[in-house]
Structure 1
Amino acid sequence: MRPDRIRRVVIVGGGTAGWMTAAAMAQVMGSLPDLTIELVESDAIGTVGVGEATIPQITLFNDLLGLDEIQFMRETNATYKLGIEFVDWRRIGHRYIHPFGTYGIDMMGIEFHHHWLKGRMLGDTSELDDYSMSVVAARNSKFLRPQPEARNSPVSKIAYAFQFDAGLYARFLRRFSEARSVTRTEGRITRVNQHPESGFITAVVLEDGREIAGDLFIDCSGFRSMLLGETLGVGYEDWTRWLPCDRAMAVPCESSGDQQPITRSTARTAGWQWRIPLQHRTGNGYVYSSAHISDDEAAATLLAHLDAPALADPKPIRFTAGHRHRSWEKNVVAMGLAGGFLEPLESTSIHLIQSGIARLMSLFPTQGFHQQEIDRYNRGSVKEYLDIRDFLILHYKATERDDSDFWRYCRTLTPPEGLQEKLAMFRSNGRVFREHEELFTETSWLSVMVGQGIEAGGYHPAADLLPDAETLKRLHHIRAIIADTADRMPTQRDFLIAEGSASGEVLRKAS
């Protein structure tokens, strides 16, 4: 048994970040002898609690924990999600869906979209969306889990995520964690103790004088970044020049009965509005630039575009797009908002928590806290923020809108070098590349570039291995198969009821 093992882990802050960290650590490492995991949070301190939409990687996290999906869906009032719909982003009146999963079928050794591009040049007017099982199903409010055994069916490769009540998810994970010996301590932290020579944090001190000592501290204190930012003084990389939205108003409203398994993002004059339908209500928010609209105007705009009566007053949130220069400093690792924030346009906030936890589990330290492991963790964190940043910028940069100062600023900004190269590659011959296992796949980049109006100047020469008539025939066949398959799928509501995932009346009023 290693004598230098970490024996006391202290998680500062609850919410989604804190309880995801506690649950994963308890599941993976909780049986280590003498390891204690303690989470400190105060009921008096609220959480942001607006991150209700996820991406497919969340299923891997739930699988790691061994969660029962039906129970999870029922207890978090969750709905399924097959993609994100973007309304009025390219221009007012235009919409498209960024789907999970794939488009069509790769043929002749090249990606499907090259055959679609060739078809367009031959006069086929079908949209890229028509070749996505996820898009066609979502538009018709249909859902089915992937069926890998149906190898020749488009349902074999469906990918999905969840939309859930973040507060209920945190409570769900709290019960999971406490059942695996995680200790929850209630209290407000008023002081942080550090080693006089190394600067390492030795304990957090609560309002009533209790000291919570630890070897490794996980900062889940939200935007405040109590340990990493305030105590250790790690600075912040500000990306406002590329992502000018710096505020949000969030408000739940009554459910409109919409069962489309998608998150919707609608572009507004100074930003965009999210809409996330859950089983018991709909989550809404307006992400905007305070340089282009006042808080009162933003709140009024949000309330004017709800599907049903609001259930609360709009909740204001202030943020700066970017990240801490280092997510791991000394014996502190920041998770979630404590380490950085990229607006929820592509539902990446919860994923960043998940990937941070995975990196920490891979590089879990000893009491020696070797710098090379810390450096590798930090490089991975920065890389992920950069990759997501460039993908988000694409949505703003590639637009035809010039109806407000906000959109004129966005369309004329100079994109980062990596994004410039991706745009140039697609504009030349429709090439889409995924760099060093970045989060967003070729499908994602293709979807948003096409959806935002980036035009390819050509296609891969290998597409001409198929005669023109055969190309058009196959395109028609793929569209027909997808449309027919969607027709035979159950609606999301019917699927939830049949699976036993529909929440009960008591739970529907829980949040």
Structure 2
Amino acid sequence: MSAAPVRKVVIVGGGTAGWMAAAALTRIMGDLPGFSVTLVESEAIGTVGVGEATIPQIIGFNRMLGIDEMHFMRETRATYKLGIEFVDWLRPGHAYVHPFGSFGLDMLGIEFQHFYLRGRELGETDPIDAYSIAAMAGKAGRFFWPQAENPKSPMSKLSYAFQFDAGRYARFLRTMSEAAGARRIEGKIVDVGQDSETGFVSHVELEGGRTVEGELFIDCSGFRSMLLGQTMDVAFNDWSKWLPCDSAVAIPCELGGRNEPLTRATARPAGWQWRIPLQHRLGNGHVFSSAHIERDAATDVLLANLDGKPLSDPNQLSFTAGHRSRFWEKNVVALGLAAGFLEPLESTSIHLVQSSIARLLALFPDTRFNEVEIARFNMETLREYSDIRDFLVLHYRASERDDSEFWRYCRNLDAPGGLSEKIDMFRSSGRIFRENNELFTEASWLSVLLSQGIHPENYHPAACMLDTDETRTRLRHIRDVIAQTAGQLPTQDDFLREQGGAIAPADLLQA
């Protein structure tokens, strides 16, 4: 006879991670008889938000929850995102977009990049951005939904994500979760109880003596990692030798500058600066290495490069890149910052929460907490963290910058093995292989590898099966169709107004 399913889930900590977990659990598991979700958080303990941008997987998460997109856009002050613009990463004055979606068209049974490389050899000088509808629409400030039903249109190749106010998103999900039966308890946790024989967490104790019991505990306590790190004593694996940035300063400001459905990451002498446009304000931050710049100087760099008037005092953050050696230990699963931290260069923070929730639901335990499922969860989560780490390191290592000690350090990083193999393969032949269904697609790798100056020495022999004129004609046609299509799309502002996702004018005053 099978063991009893877990029915009492306790989430420690709110914020984006906690309420994403509560919303998903009540949605998927809520009809299980006797199932309950209790979230414990304290208003006295702030949440950390180092970015408000997402990647396309958030679309599936929101749809799974049954969220109406336009309602979501209004409530979270969201804008659309078609990719990330990287400024000054290869060298000062250089910029490119890492877009969502694919490039060009595959031809003769091989990937488009081989024909692009052949075209460059023939004198075609347009950057790879010109072959992406997401990049061209993003730079033009335009947006429309993908058109999967029309495979001959460039719009069938488009993907998108959101930029939103993370605090408002957490409150939005809290409302949904509580309506679906989740219970929130206000209180500061002062002690964690464990079973004396198994070491499993049995309850958390709040100020005033109240206890909250559970069977499965989800640690969303941020960098403190109260359950997994402090109580379970699960070690932290430090990745700062590959990702040396260990600090950030963040500040919102008034709207200003270009209004595009793109996140911007601008390289600075000791790190990089993010710019995330929402409907009512801009989110800004400077991620930096404290070994290469003082905190006050880093704050000055940020404040000197805002597009609008600051709306609050700077928020200072410190962190270490890396992860807990296990993400699920006994009956504790960590999400978000409690599990690990990878800087938000590619907007993966919320995705890591989302993917871990999906993995937990797929491996949802019974009261035996079988080690086979736990080991699978830990293996897949570690693989995802490692894959993302490698992609982030690529941005730093593939740079021509030598104008500061920080960039000289980054250029000489000893790349992780998986990254070295990808670089060597691409440099040799223009080929890219996606391993184990990793998060970033071949198109993502192509965008960053090419745009950051890694030039293949060769390409697939089949690309020579088209003669010179035919190759150039096809490439020109693809560029022209993409440019024309992008130019016909509505601006993002017009699209939001027409579809009902724009906030009321009075809300523009609410930061």
- Please say whether Structure 1 and Structure 2 have the same fold, judged by a TM-score greater than 0.5: yes
Work out the CA distance in 2 between the residues paired with 1:15 and 1:380: 24
- What is the deviation of 1:395? 0.3
Aligned to 2:81: 81
- What is the deviation of 1:197? 1.2
Q: Deviation above 3 Å: which 4+ runs of structure 1?
A: 505-511
Work out the CA distance in 2 between the residues paired with 1:53 and 1:76: 12
- What is the deviation of 1:5? 1.6
What SS does structure 2 have at the residue aligned with 1:202? strand
Unaligned runs of 5+ in 1: none
Query: Are positions 1:41 and 2:41 aligned together?
Result: yes
- Aligned residue pairs total 511
- What is the deviation of 1:259? 2.3
Aligned to 1:114: 114
Aligned to 1:66: 66
Give 1:159-198 correspondences, 5 Å limit: 159-198=159-198
Work out the CA distance in 1 between the residues paired with 2:440 and 2:424: 18
Query: Are positions 1:215 and 2:215 aligned together?
Result: yes
User: Residue 421 of structure 2 aligns to which amino acid in structure 1?
Assistant: E
Structure 1 residues 2, 35: CA separation in 2 closer, same or farther (over 3 Å shift)? farther
Aligned to 2:28: 28
Does the CA contact (< 8 Å) of 2:76 and 2:169 recur in 1?
yes
Aligned to 2:128: 128
- What is the deviation of 1:256? 1.2
Aligned to 1:410: 410
Work out the CA distance in 2 between the residues paired with 1:49 and 1:117: 40
Does the CA contact (< 8 Å) of 1:16 and 1:169 recur in 2?
yes
Query: Are positions 1:504 and 2:497 aligned together?
Result: no
- What is the deviation of 1:501? 0.2
Aligned to 1:256: 256
Give 1:375-454 correspondences, 5 Å limit: 375-454=375-454
User: Residue 18 of structure 1 aligns to which amino acid in structure 2?
Assistant: G
User: Residue 24 of structure 2 aligns to which amino acid in structure 1?
Assistant: A
Work out the CA distance in 2 between the residues paired with 1:7 and 1:421: 45
- What is the deviation of 1:509? 4.3
What SS does structure 2 have at the residue aligned with 1:279? coil
Does the CA contact (< 8 Å) of 2:50 and 2:344 recur in 1?
no
Aligned to 1:364: 364
What SS does structure 2 have at the residue aligned with 1:39? strand
What SS does structure 2 have at the residue aligned with 1:31? coil
Does the CA contact (< 8 Å) of 1:258 and 1:277 recur in 2?
no
What SS does structure 2 have at the residue aligned with 1:292? coil
User: Residue 328 of structure 2 aligns to which amino acid in structure 1?
Assistant: W
Aligned to 1:315: 315
- What is the deviation of 1:57? 0.3
User: Residue 279 of structure 2 aligns to which amino acid in structure 1?
Assistant: Q
What SS does structure 2 have at the residue aligned with 1:52? coil
What SS does structure 2 have at the residue aligned with 1:387? helix
Work out the CA distance in 2 between the residues paired with 1:267 and 1:320: 20
Work out the CA distance in 2 between the residues paired with 1:506 and 1:87: 33
CA deviations over 1:171-198 (Å, ceiling 9, x no partner): 0000000010000000000010011111
User: Residue 152 of structure 1 aligns to which amino acid in structure 2?
Assistant: K
What SS does structure 2 have at the residue aligned with 1:37? strand
Aligned to 2:483: 483
User: Residue 177 of structure 1 aligns to which amino acid in structure 2?
Assistant: S
User: Residue 260 of structure 1 aligns to which amino acid in structure 2?
Assistant: E
- What is the deviation of 1:505? 3.8
Does the CA contact (< 8 Å) of 2:3 and 2:367 recur in 1?
no
- What is the deviation of 1:151? 2.0
Does the CA contact (< 8 Å) of 2:280 and 2:510 recur in 1?
no
- What is the deviation of 1:257? 6.1
User: Residue 431 of structure 1 aligns to which amino acid in structure 2?
Assistant: R
User: Residue 418 of structure 1 aligns to which amino acid in structure 2?
Assistant: G
Aligned to 1:154: 154
What SS does structure 1 have at the residue aligned with 2:264? strand
- What is the deviation of 1:51? 2.6
Does the CA contact (< 8 Å) of 2:200 and 2:331 recur in 1?
yes
Structure 1 residues 28, 286: CA separation in 2 closer, same or farther (over 3 Å shift)? same
What SS does structure 1 have at the residue aligned with 2:119? helix
What SS does structure 2 have at the residue aligned with 1:454? coil
What SS does structure 2 have at the residue aligned with 1:125? coil
- What is the deviation of 1:510? 4.4
CA deviations over 1:440-468 (Å, ceiling 9, x no partner): 00000000011110011011001112111
Does the CA contact (< 8 Å) of 2:264 and 2:275 recur in 1?
yes
- What is the deviation of 1:3? 5.5
Aligned to 2:347: 347
CA deviations over 1:63-103 (Å, ceiling 9, x no partner): 11010000000100000000000000000000000000010
Work out the CA distance in 2 between the residues paired with 1:252 and 1:130: 32
Work out the CA distance in 2 between the residues paired with 1:297 and 1:274: 17
- What is the deviation of 1:487? 1.0
Backbone CA RMSD of aligned residues: 1.0
Aligned to 2:142: 142
- What is the deviation of 1:126? 1.2
What SS does structure 1 have at the residue aligned with 2:217? strand
Work out the CA distance in 1 between the residues paired with 2:150 and 2:6: 47
Does the CA contact (< 8 Å) of 1:50 and 1:166 recur in 2?
no
User: Residue 84 of structure 1 aligns to which amino acid in structure 2?
Assistant: I
Does the CA contact (< 8 Å) of 2:257 and 2:307 recur in 1?
no
Aligned to 1:330: 330
User: Residue 250 of structure 2 aligns to which amino acid in structure 1?
Assistant: A
Aligned to 2:373: 373
Aligned to 1:270: 270
What SS does structure 2 have at the residue aligned with 1:25? helix
User: Residue 479 of structure 1 aligns to which amino acid in structure 2?
Assistant: R
User: Residue 337 of structure 1 aligns to which amino acid in structure 2?
Assistant: L
Work out the CA distance in 1 between the residues paired with 2:365 and 2:51: 29
Query: Are positions 1:55 and 2:58 aligned together?
Result: no
